[in-house]
Structure 1
């Protein structure tokens, strides 16, 4: 196993946890800025429309994917700087 991969494992785990919290906070702010006073709906929320549930799920998924990509790429870049090889 490459040294860069070993170095990246704990870094990736820590960054992943941080990224999840960050993505959740960003999604909450975006949802409010879109004019929604309430929390985003769950898929089983009977009081919310299909449109609102699907919009929230799509937006949340896009934000989480974006934040994860930024964090994963940044972590891999940092590991390459430390070890000289990409952790892939």
Structure 2
């Protein structure tokens, strides 16, 4: 395994954790800003309907995927610029 790829593994893990926290915070703000309750509904919340539960899950999943991809791509691009090797 390439040294750059091996060295990138812990960086990638830290970026993944950071992207999860960033996406979670962004989701909470977006959920509140769209006029919903402070907390998004869970799948088993008996007080919420199907539409609200599925809307929350869709928004949360899409946001997490976009933030993770953006953070991962930025990290890989930065490593490539610094080392000349893509850390795939």
Q: Would the TM-score normalized by the shorter structure come out above 0.5?
A: yes
Measure, in 2, the Cα distance between the counterparts of 1:38 and 1:87.
Answer: 39
Measure, in 1, the Cα distance between the counterparts of 2:85 and 2:38.
Answer: 46
TM-score (norm 2): 0.95
Measure, in 2, the Cα distance between the counterparts of 1:38 and 1:21.
Answer: 17
Measure, in 1, the Cα distance between the counterparts of 2:61 and 2:10.
Answer: 24
1:81 aligns with 2:81: yes
CA contact (8 A) 2:79 2:87 kept: yes
| Cα deviation 1:23-64 (Å, max 9, x = unaligned) | 000000000111013300000101100000000000000000
TM-score (norm 1): 0.95
Give the length in aligned residue pairs: 88
1:62 aligns with 2:62: yes
Runs of 4+ aligned residues of structure 1 deviating over 3 Å after TM superposition are none
Unaligned runs of 5+ in 1: none
* CA RMSD after TM alignment: 0.9
Shift of 1:81: 1.6
